[in-house]
Amino acid sequence: MKERSDSEILAGLIERSRLLIAVETKLQTQPLLKQMEQLMAGDPPDAKRVRGTHALLVRELAEYADLDALLSAMEHFLP
């Protein structure tokens, strides 16, 4: 099994979050996930803005336990 990079793991967590948001919450945070993906795509990633976007997502989605768990997992792979 090929070991995945932090960026690959983070991309998977973002995709899972996107699906949960779409199905469960109806919140307007989808654009924040897209922004985070774009910031991670930079070479190097814009770590300050990635962390700021992540913090905003945490605030917006704190009441949703499943999403809170995914966002907590993301934090381990942020630049």
Per the model's pLDDT, the better-predicted residue between 38 and 1 turns out to be: 38
Q: Are 24 and 30 in contact (CB under 8 A)?
A: no
Q: What is the dihedral angle through the alpha carbons of 21, 72, 49, 79, rounded to the nearest 10 degrees?
A: -130
Q: What is the mean pLDDT of the chain?
A: 87
pTM for this structure? 0.75
Own/partner pairs, 15-18, CB within 8 angstroms, 24+ separation: 16/70, 17/57, 17/67, 17/70, 17/71, 17/74
pLDDT tens figures, 42-58: 889 889 999 999 999 89
